[in-house]
Structure 1
Amino acid sequence: MANKTKAAQLCMSCLLTLIAVAAVVSASFAYLSLNLGQLFSIDAAGEMLRFLQSFFPPDLSAGFLARTARGMLETLAMSAVGTLCAAVLGLVLALPASGRHGAALKALSRLVLNLLRSVPELVWAVLTVLAVGLGPFAGTLALALHTAGVLGRLFAEALENAPAAPAQSLLATGASPALAFLYGTLPCVQPQFLAYTLYRWETNIRMAAILGFVGAGGLGQMLYFELSLFHLAQACTVIIAMLVLAALVDAASAFMRRDWVMVHA
């Protein structure tokens, strides 16, 4: 009898939750004046189809392919350098954020990490473009600043959850705190650090392509330029290059993680 009562209460709770969610969604549609009928109408489908057809065939001329290849390399370099700088800065901030240097530094470093990651990459890109001018340097800085906040928080959580026994054993034998960290704590969290860094690199590849829309270089800047001039065939080539680059980085990241696991198994 008690089980039936609990089940009935649970069903009623689920029903009330669904009603509340439906009411919020309906109110949102009404407030935003969204007309889904126009989006899914036959005329809208025809317009979207004609728009997509205008992108094909892509521009495969030698000159434009060479420009696109340079844009791919620029985007790849932006993401790689930005992620590397973010990993270094994130580790530097993660050490005090994990509570290893007192409560005051922990609170201060966590405040800095929260500030870095709470500002989106596009906002950082706007600020860095104003600071250093248009180009890949601004995009690299934007990626590094935001990603440092993300990786720093993840690194700090990993350090807090790392087993203390290896480092304590080294300290008991007379090792310095730095050596105890390097040989006792760091090996325990290295797989997590690598996984987090590679994941953020994959994310930054896509974000580096988007940052070009605010003048931060790479494929995104090429795409924005071509779309602004309604060069849709050229824009199609750039979009394909973005997809190819993202797929290559995903494959390289998966290979590096698998190779790391095999080496340290």
Structure 2
Amino acid sequence: MERLKKQAAANEVYRLPPPLFDARCRACWFVAAALAMVVASFWTLDLQWARFLSLDALQRMGRFAGELLSPNLDAAFLRKLWPAALETLAMSMLGTLLAVVGGLLLALPASKLHAEDKAGWRPATRLVLNMLRSIPELMWAALLLIAAGLGPFAGTLALALHTSGVLGRLFAEAIENASPGPAFALRVRGVPEGRVFLYATLPQVLPQLVSYTLYRWENNIRAAAVLGVVGAGGLGQMLAFHLGLFQMAETGSVLAAMFVLVAIVDVGSYAARRAMSR
């Protein structure tokens, strides 16, 4: 017995190194592969740094930035800018609200609630979520403009469809990562699955769901402004109009309004997260 113990101790001391592709080395290989892809990306792309950093290019960019930083503050123009900003804000809010409802409805069948859950609809629902978020908002807006016509309605639906795919995936991941203990305690008592979700799973993941929703709302303000380029209304429509006419002062005013909207939503999101964490 003593001999076996000594042999085991000797084997522990002179243990051979792990294989090259052992689990402890996989992270190193992953990082090396990522670095190789970055180097290959720089090598394959035609990045003209010399032209980009040339004196002529810097002068032109400086002149362009100077024109943008001199916004048009005329009262008549600001009176037109204010309704467009409100329209962009309304598009982002309504589109995000619809996306929260659609994302949550799709997240439930797209997630596996417990170990014994067969989750038969999970693959098909995940495929739907992938399709919704793989199509950009601009493409959704172009498709919906054919049916709904020009205006904010098509832009709102485009935001809702794309964001439903994004939030649905995030919501499903949050639901699957919730602690199974409270849900198991209710399930063994015969509580129906709907109540298990409402009283055990949802309270755990609700802060995450709200955080994801507020973040996507910030993104949707910028997306709503971009959708105006295809005629979906709001600040984006004004941006496309004035930028197309090279009216840099008016373009700067529109960009400033977009910045103010994003800043307001950012402050509101921070306040909401802080209130929830108390």
Q: TM-score range by the shorter chain?
A: 0.7 to 0.9
Summarize the Cα distance change of 1:28–1:197 in structure 2 as closer, same or farther, 3 Å threshold.
same
Instruction: From 199, 217, 234, give the equivalent of 1:218.
Output: 234
- The structure with the larger Rg is 2
Q: Determine the structure 2 residue equivalent to 1:73.
A: 86
Match of residue 129, structure 2, among 88, 92, 113: 113
Q: 1:231 aligns with which of 231, 247, 263?
A: 247
How far apart are the structure 2 equivalents of 1:215 and 1:16?
43
Closer, same or farther: CA 119–174 of 1 in aligned 2, 3 Å: same
1:28 aligns with 2:45: yes
- Pairing 1:162–2:175 present: no
Alignment correspondent of 2:204: 188
> 1:229 deviation in Å?
2.0
Kindly provide the CA deviation profile for residues 177-231 of structure 1, in whole angstroms up to 9, marking residues without a partner as x. Answer: 2222111111111111111111111111111111111111111111101112222
> Helix, strand or coil for the counterpart of 2:112?
coil
Q: Give the partner amino acid of 1:83.
A: T
In structure 2, the residue corresponding to 1:104 is in which secondary structure?
Answer: coil
Distance 1:177 1:16 in 2: 44
Using structure 1 for the length normalisation, give the TM-score: 0.86
Indicate conservation of the 8 Å contact 2:110/2:121, yes or no.
yes
Aligned to 2:146: 130
Taking the aligned partners of 1:16 and 1:150, their CA distance within structure 2 comes to 28
Match of 2:99 in 1: 86
RMSD: 2.7
Among the aligned pairs, what percent are the same residue? 53
State the shift of 1:17 in Å: 7.9
Instruction: Indicate the residue corresponding to 1:45 in structure 2.
Output: 58
* CA distance in structure 2 between the aligned counterparts of 1:180 and 1:103, rounded to whole angstroms: 16
**Which residue in the other structure is 1:206 paired with?**
222
Classify 1:169/1:208 alpha carbon distance in 2 versus 1 (closer, same or farther; 3 Å): same
Whether contact under 8 Å (1:96, 1:102) holds in the other structure is no
TM-score (norm 2): 0.82
Residue 242 to residue 168, structure 1, CA distance change in 2 (3 Å): same
CA distance in 2, matches of 1:214, 1:79: 16
Change (3 A) 1:235 1:172: same
Q: Provide closer, same or farther for how the CA distance between residues 169 and 55 of structure 1 changes in structure 2, counting only shifts above 3 A.
A: closer
- Judged with a 3 Å threshold, the aligned counterparts in structure 2 of structure 1 residues 114 and 22 are, in CA distance, closer, same or farther, namely closer
CA contact (8 A) 2:111 2:119 kept: no
Structure with more helix by fraction: 1
